[in-house]
Structure 1
Amino acid sequence: MKANFAFQNLCGTVYRQGNVVFTPDGNSVLSPVGNRVSVFDLVNNKSRTLNFENRKNIACIALSPNGNLLLSIDEDGRALLVHFRKGTTLHHITFHKPVNCAAFSPDGKYIAITHGNIVQIWTTPSTIVRDFAPFTLYGEYTGHNDEVVSITWSKTGRYFLTTGRDMTARLFTLDPLRGFKPKSFGGHRDVVLGAWFSDDEKTIYTVSRDGAVFTWNAKKEIDPEDSDVEMDVLDAPMNSNRVVEYAAAYTRWGVSSRHYFNQPGTKVVCATFHANTSLLIVGFSTGVFGLWEMPDFSPVHTLSISNEKISSVAVNPSGEWLAFGAAKLGQLLVWEWQSESYVLKQQGHYYDMNTLSFSSDGNNIATGGEDGKVKLWNATSGFCFVTFPEHTASVTGVEFAKQGQVLFSASLDGTVRAYDLIRYRNFRTFTSPTPVQFCSLAVDPSGEVVCAGSQDSFEIYMWSVQTGKLLDVLAGHTAPVSGLAFSPTGNQLASSSWDRSIRLWSVFGRSRATEPITLSSEATALAFRPDGNEVCASTLDGQLNFVDVAEGQITSVIEGRRDISGGRRVDDRLTAANNAASKYFNSVTYTADGACVLAGGSSKYVCIYDRREGVMVKKFQISENLSLDGTQEMLDSRRLTEAGPIDSIDTTGEAEDLEDRLDETLPGASKGDLSKRKYRREAKTSCVRFSATGRSWAAASTEGLLIYSLDESTTFDPFDLSIDLTPDTVNSTLASGDHLMALIMSLRLNESPLIQRCYEAVPPSSIRLIARQIPQIYIEPVLRFIALHMESSPHIEFDLLWVGAMLTSHGRWLRERRTEMATVFRGLMKGLMTYEGGVAKLTERNLWGLEYIISQAKKAEANGAPPEGLTA
């Protein structure tokens, strides 16, 4: 069992706070998700999350004009400079104060950041030379009487505009000019959110929070003979660009027109300006955004896209796409304003995720949350493609049917629902005779029977999926049923409960009598091994109990208290070592081959254990975000006051906007709706599941849906090496035409690029012969590589020839080892189903195209003339 799993992607969360940014080519948008940054490729319909993590939630990000450097700044002003294309952290710096805005200069040589009421300009560190002190302060610019809110550079990069909470905007030059004083633009009655130059840089637009737009024009053109203007550069020859530049710096500016949005009962929250098209894009606190064409202030259109305020807005370089982020709902939208259509519309769970489940092919992931919604995510692209909102309470379990396109979900609202994944509708709703709350779910491998365990009546309910009728009620537990699982063979149902017992039910037999298997503490989760011979149950005292199904006895126990314990909450009176709240697992699952167990709980750690040896193989930390509770081992005593820890003090009344200061909540439960009660979120894992392919696993955590996959590129795992076995000898063998020997030598080195080169160099006519001659020790590596190759390769027929040849030549050997080769078979099945779906879509598209051409031909024949583009 390989344990070199590496973080791959973060789904389920698309936007938290901060500003969204487009890449220079305009094809991707960057969105802060907690202390990470996700990149959404709008052209290829994929998303990825960069590997680096900030110390706390990200407050603002900035991308260099060439797209190489990304500056990510958290709430405390600690920044990371990241190589965007590689995703690696280059440098760290602390600005010592919260940063509202950061912007690279147009040439990428400088970085401007807000620092209280000061603007700091830093030289951009080199990506080639490693310096001891890479960040160099170029200059500080003062003049604002309150906090600076935004920074905008001119096209030449010689001067920049800033706005602040002192209701003014200011114009600064990067380098000092004789006789120049920073220009101040006043007159607004609220915070100035942004200031921008027009395309010719002869007009300045300022927007304030109360909905006022001021247009500033030059009062007087620059005159080289004007005695009031002292410039050394006037003695030198000046081209047109320099004249405009120095005109902007020395001209007296005045308000030429004032405009107002006239949106009653709302305020401007964010705004941006696209100079090439002269479009002003504004987001309001009511979830409405609008486009106005400047300088005439002509409205283009206004649209409501959310029920909450729009937190951030960005426009791509071409001006075609607009990106909006809504923090309270966790929404990210990309809107094409000319066609008035969505390019991207994603929203995560409104609150924490409770449960998840992989589909049988590993392509899709279903999640259920506290908001009562069930969402389906594509594991490859990272996008949510359907949401089922039928539940009215927290979703506690989701399960895919092993056969057929059906998804089941259980909820605390007392219903179990079945969803058709072809038509995307809820076609069955299962209820109990008396209202109960369901906290666990299991589906028969055939998909004909679904079971749910209740947490108030302590019973297990069984329904028929075909008829929707209640088949049986299994009674015996004396506490909430915390876990349910059907045996992979389908003949037994295992249940765990808080009554410190496990029960095995023969659901298709006549007898309902069961003998409880006593545990040392309350059971929290349950899982069957893929072969159906063993059950693993986690308990409240931090143990993993392994039960032999045939014997009905506990065969071994793994003590995991010390492994998972870690993290201390802000208001904890106990140390992390003595806190029992994070010392147990609430979710367990077997790996695809059954050799290891993956377990997670109310802690920042997820552990993998070797089943046979009973030892921990690896421990993963799901988050290093200090904005969450439970990520620190030791608390900082300097943040302790007489009123308690600073982080636990409610600062709602200090919010700037009136709607944020108002507290209309009632005392009650501390979970279920994040907007109804403010408290610190806790780093924990609600559910962990392994993919059927065995190459990835997912965790439903506070940060979102974390996906980890095998990182083959970082592991060099060769075998049967010799001194003369090198990449050069492999290439020379391949050049000589000995494809079989070259492939075997590349498999010994176990370098993916080398294996791919030798694999794709095999002539299609020789595939059957080479597949037959491959030694048995290399069968599994070859099949694994083919499964991996099918995920990203366009060579469909070539891969299918290899699969057919390998299964035909070594079918008997594979059948004898079908249990240990299960992950390989699932990987091949996933690739084949992907091919099948793609070919089916292409065939259907061609069918409709041909029918259209034939119909046009018939129509033209009826009219007596050949159709356009066709000859008679």
Structure 2
Amino acid sequence: MKASFKFLNLCGSVYKQGNIVFTPDGNSVFSAVGNRISVFDLVNNKSFTFPFQNQRDIAAIALSPDGKTLISVDEIGKAIFVNVKKAVVLHRINLKKPVKCVAFSPDGKYFAVTHGAHVQVWKTPNLFVREFAPFELHHTYREHNDDVLSITWSDDSRFLLSASRDMTARIHPLEFNQSLYPKMLSSHRDAVVSAYFANGNKEIYTITRDGAVVVWRGKYDDEDGETLEIPDPEDEDFLLKNRWRLSERYWFDLAKVVSTAYHKRTNMLVAGFSSGVFGLWEMPSFTNIHTLSISQDKISSLTINPSGEWLALGATKLGQLLVWEWQSESYILKQQGHYFDMNTLSFSSDGQHIATGGDDGKVKIWNVNSGFCFVTFSDHASSISSVEFAKQGQVLFTASLDGTVRAFDLIRYRNFRTFTSPTPVQFSSLAVDPSGEVVVAGSADSFEVFMWSVQTGKLLDVLTGHEAPVNALAFAPTGNYLVSGSWDKTVRLWNVFTRTRNVQPFLLNADVLCVAFRPDGLEIAAATLDGQITFWETVDGRQTGLIEGRRDISGGRMQDDRITAANNSVNKYFTSVAYTVDGSCVIAGGNSKYVVMYNVQEGVMLKKFQISENLSLDGAQDFLDYRRMKKEGGDLMYDRGDESDLEDRRNPTLPGAQRGDLSKRRYRQDIRTKCIRFSPTGGSWAAASTEGLLIYSLDEGIVFEPLDLDIDITPQNILEVLSQKEHLKALVMAFRLNEKSLIERVYEAIPSEDIALLVRQLPRIYVPNLLSFVASHAERSPHMEFDLLWINALLGIHGRFLREHSLEHAGVLRAVQKSVMDYQKNIAALCDSNRSSIAYMMDQAKALRLRRQ
């Protein structure tokens, strides 16, 4: 089994904090997700997450005007400079203070950052020149007396407009001049949230937190001392030479202003409020265009795309990201992750969908290719403990602590069956028969296993014997055995369809946390609280292996730990185990920042994956700074994010009611993996972690296999052999070099009439590789018949070989099945459309003939 998995995408979390940025073309939006950045393509309906990471949660991001570079700053002021197209980190810089806002100049030569009460302007590093010190500080402005909240550049990149908590806004020149001093705009009664240049720099709009919009207009004094209106500015320093006067003052009268955006081309001002309301106003007349409430929590960030048609809004507490087209009053994008932690996940039979369940009682289904959630079920009233797809792929089963097991129809998107026990219990585990006719759930209260019929919804049987909560269940792939794991330190194997049941328990040394069947159903794996993974044979119950994984999974130190991370393996254990498709390996994750892959037969670790490098999560650091430790714990133990403001800690729902202690702080989240599953196709696996749904796929970047190469196998020689019509030789050489683009070129150059002969002569060692390539090529190629000819020839000629090694190549065969099923769906949809069109045309022709008669 290959272990070269790499990070593919992050789902289940679409926005956390910081600002939202549109690309220059306005078709994509960048959103901060923890210490990563996700990109949502609004035109192609896809999303992906960059592989690079900041050290901590991102506080501010900025995209250059050409869209080629990105700067991302975390909570403590450490920034990375990124090439967007290559998705690689070019430079790193420590700004040494928390940053509220970062902005590129319109010409892209500079970028400005807030530095506490100061504003720093840096020169943008050159992408094409390798420099020892790429960042050069241009100037630091120290006029403000409190934190600077926002920065805006003028269109000509010569002036900066800063808004501060000291209730002032100031105009700064880029090129410092001793004779010119920054202009101060005061007369505000609260902190200035943002300020904008408008009307060709002749006007300035400042917005305060208490809802005031102040319009400033510039005037200048001539030589006689008379004050005249400003003409078209010809003087380069007119912004600092003129006199800015308060012209109008307007009020929102809705709630506290949290975020704003201004579009110069349409003179449209957008404001987001602490009550979850956002509105659009036309300036400078301050005419309200639209007002809409999208949530009960504050709108943390908003922005407008360059054309002014779409608004992107983010809410931190809800983890929600919206893109709103205000002219048609419709959603372009509406995504939200789980409000609380994600507990469990399950892959569909084709590996294209993932279902997740969280503590918020919601079940969400995500598309693996697009990264979007396309349906959310909110029928449960409590935390979701387990989700399972039926093997047929059209039904989803969920178990919850509310005492119900529900079945959801994935065609009509509704709950069509609800299973309950005779007495109210909390269900902590779930398993579905491979035929989809029987569903079982384990209880955390009565220590029983309940079995229902999916067709009738009736309770078939109750399995007893465990003496502690049953928190792990799994059906054998053959469907005749059910394995259960419990906190009573036993694993029981049940033959559920016979009167004589084998309930002889397998005794262990610690509480059982999870169980899994090997894909052939002949082996069971169970992870326990002492960090071990134990393996048994299903037939005779003989123990076949034991993996001591506590040392492998240990790593990362909590803020209140008193011993080092290397020696702290007491609380490290696996909470989820899954077999790979071929059954040769297991992948396990748990109460740690690591996910580990083991070879079952050898009992050795193949690879260790670190799911996150986010130091904002507790347990991510291996070493603690004792200078920051106190008697009551680390000073970073508590979450001091949005809860630092009094209005954020106060609960306004009930008059006179108080939500806990106003001085209380929330603990930081621990980094951990709650559930892990392998895709049925074998090409990816997913983990439900603290940060969201992490998806890893096989690394296709491996260019060659050294053992299959010799000095004659080069791209030039392969193309030369292909030009000589030696297709078999060229194809074998391309597979040895294993460069994807070259294989595709050779593959598409082979005539269709030579496919059967070439497949018959192809060495068997290359059959799985060719079949996997054809399956992936069929997903994106319009040559449907060509790919089907290859699939037909490979399965017809090498069918016996593939059947004998079906377990080893199960992932490849599932990928082929998915490709063929996609072709069938596309052809069926096309035929239905053509049938309807033909029927319509025949009806029209018949009606025309009747009118002529």
TM tier, shorter chain?
over 0.9
Q: How does 1:159-178 map to 2 (within 5 A)?
A: 159-177=159-177
Q: Deviation per CA, 1:315-364, whole angstroms, max 9, x where unpaired?
A: 11111110000000000000011111000000000011100000000000
Q: Deviation per CA, 1:86-108, whole angstroms, max 9, x where unpaired?
A: 11111110011000000001111
Q: Quick one: which amino acid aligns to residue 671 of structure 2?
A: A
Moved more, 807-816 or 311-320: 807-816
Mapped partners of 1:814, 1:377: distance in 2: 32
* TM-score after normalising by structure 1: 0.93
Equivalent residue number for residue 287 of structure 1: 276
Equivalent residue number for residue 243 of structure 1: 234
Equivalent residue number for residue 656 of structure 1: 645
Equivalent residue number for residue 267 of structure 2: 278
Q: Deviation per CA, 1:752-796, whole angstroms, max 9, x where unpaired?
A: 111111111112232233222212121111011112222333332
Q: Quick one: which amino acid aligns to residue 257 of structure 1?
A: E
Moved more, 289-298 or 708-717: 708-717
1:711–1:218 CA distance, 2 compared to 1 (3 A): same
1:846–1:660 CA distance, 2 compared to 1 (3 A): farther
Equivalent residue number for residue 338 of structure 2: 349
Asked if residue 587 in structure 1 is aligned to residue 603 in structure 2, the reply is no
Mapped partners of 2:641, 2:87: distance in 1: 36
Asked if residue 636 in structure 1 is aligned to residue 625 in structure 2, the reply is yes
Moved more, 570-579 or 541-550: 570-579
Equivalent residue number for residue 207 of structure 1: 207
1:631–1:241 CA distance, 2 compared to 1 (3 A): farther
Asked if residue 146 in structure 1 is aligned to residue 146 in structure 2, the reply is yes
Mapped partners of 1:728, 1:712: distance in 2: 22
Equivalent residue number for residue 654 of structure 2: none
Mapped partners of 1:337, 1:390: distance in 2: 31
Equivalent residue number for residue 519 of structure 2: 530
Moved more, 851-860 or 624-633: 851-860
Q: Secondary structure at the match of 2:701?
A: helix
Q: Quick one: which amino acid aligns to residue 166 of structure 1?
A: D
Q: Quick one: which amino acid aligns to residue 185 of structure 1?
A: L
Mapped partners of 1:844, 1:295: distance in 2: 54
1:127–1:848 CA distance, 2 compared to 1 (3 A): farther
Structure 1 residue 863 displacement after superposition: 7.5
Asked if residue 819 in structure 1 is aligned to residue 791 in structure 2, the reply is no
Asked if residue 727 in structure 1 is aligned to residue 718 in structure 2, the reply is no
1:742–1:260 CA distance, 2 compared to 1 (3 A): same
Q: Secondary structure at the match of 1:24?
A: coil
1:127–1:640 CA distance, 2 compared to 1 (3 A): same
Mapped partners of 2:842, 2:636: distance in 1: 70
Q: Deviation per CA, 1:662-687, whole angstroms, max 9, x where unpaired?
A: 694459xxxxxxxx982210000000
Preserved contact between residue 280 and residue 291 of structure 2 (Cα < 8 Å)? yes
Preserved contact between residue 18 and residue 58 of structure 2 (Cα < 8 Å)? yes
Structure 1 residue 856 displacement after superposition: 6.5
Preserved contact between residue 416 and residue 431 of structure 1 (Cα < 8 Å)? yes
Q: Secondary structure at the match of 2:767?
A: helix
Mapped partners of 2:7, 2:196: distance in 1: 40
Pick aligned residue for 1:607 from 580, 586, 596? 596
Structure 1 residue 259 displacement after superposition: 1.0
Mapped partners of 2:704, 2:713: distance in 1: 15
Structure 1 residue 864 displacement after superposition: 7.4
Asked if residue 195 in structure 1 is aligned to residue 212 in structure 2, the reply is no
Structure 1 residue 520 displacement after superposition: 2.1
Q: How does 1:6-85 map to 2 (within 5 A)?
A: 6-85=6-85
Mapped partners of 1:653, 1:401: distance in 2: 42
Mapped partners of 1:178, 1:228: distance in 2: 25
Equivalent residue number for residue 430 of structure 1: 419
1:652–1:698 CA distance, 2 compared to 1 (3 A): closer
Structure 1 residue 496 displacement after superposition: 1.1
Mapped partners of 1:619, 1:732: distance in 2: 42
Q: Quick one: which amino acid aligns to residue 741 of structure 1?
A: K
Equivalent residue number for residue 816 of structure 2: 828
Q: How does 1:162-561 map to 2 (within 5 A)?
A: 162-177=162-177, 179-220=179-220, 243=234, 245-263=236-254, 266-561=255-550
Asked if residue 798 in structure 1 is aligned to residue 789 in structure 2, the reply is no
Asked if residue 712 in structure 1 is aligned to residue 700 in structure 2, the reply is yes
Structure 1 residue 584 displacement after superposition: 1.1
Q: Deviation per CA, 1:139-178, whole angstroms, max 9, x where unpaired?
A: 1112111111100011110111110001111111101346
Q: How does 1:627-776 map to 2 (within 5 A)?
A: 627-649=616-638, 655-661=644-650, 664-665=658-659, 678-714=666-702, 716-776=704-764
Mapped partners of 2:641, 2:705: distance in 1: 54
Mapped partners of 2:711, 2:648: distance in 1: 72
Preserved contact between residue 115 and residue 148 of structure 1 (Cα < 8 Å)? yes
Mapped partners of 1:696, 1:129: distance in 2: 38
1:859–1:178 CA distance, 2 compared to 1 (3 A): farther
Moved more, 716-725 or 436-445: 716-725
1:453–1:116 CA distance, 2 compared to 1 (3 A): same
Q: Secondary structure at the match of 1:707?
A: strand
Paired residues, number = 844
Structure 1 residue 851 displacement after superposition: 5.7
Preserved contact between residue 654 and residue 661 of structure 1 (Cα < 8 Å)? no
Structure 1 residue 724 displacement after superposition: 1.4
Q: Quick one: which amino acid aligns to residue 772 of structure 2?
A: R
Q: Secondary structure at the match of 1:572?
A: coil
Identity of aligned residues (%): 59
1:144–1:850 CA distance, 2 compared to 1 (3 A): farther
Equivalent residue number for residue 121 of structure 1: 121
Preserved contact between residue 63 and residue 104 of structure 1 (Cα < 8 Å)? yes
Preserved contact between residue 365 and residue 373 of structure 2 (Cα < 8 Å)? yes
Equivalent residue number for residue 868 of structure 1: none
Q: Quick one: which amino acid aligns to residue 807 of structure 1?
A: L
Moved more, 767-776 or 253-262: 767-776
Structure 1 residue 751 displacement after superposition: 1.1
Q: Secondary structure at the match of 1:714?
A: coil
Q: Secondary structure at the match of 2:645?
A: coil
Mapped partners of 2:132, 2:263: distance in 1: 38
1:63–1:657 CA distance, 2 compared to 1 (3 A): farther
Equivalent residue number for residue 776 of structure 2: 788
Mapped partners of 2:224, 2:737: distance in 1: 76
Structure 1 residue 449 displacement after superposition: 0.2
Equivalent residue number for residue 237 of structure 1: none
Q: Quick one: which amino acid aligns to residue 241 of structure 2?
A: Y
Q: Quick one: which amino acid aligns to residue 14 of structure 1?
A: V
Q: Secondary structure at the match of 2:521?
A: coil
1:598–1:416 CA distance, 2 compared to 1 (3 A): same
Asked if residue 622 in structure 1 is aligned to residue 611 in structure 2, the reply is yes
Consecutive unaligned residues of structure 2, counting only runs of 5 or more, are 652-656
Q: Quick one: which amino acid aligns to residue 519 of structure 1?
A: L
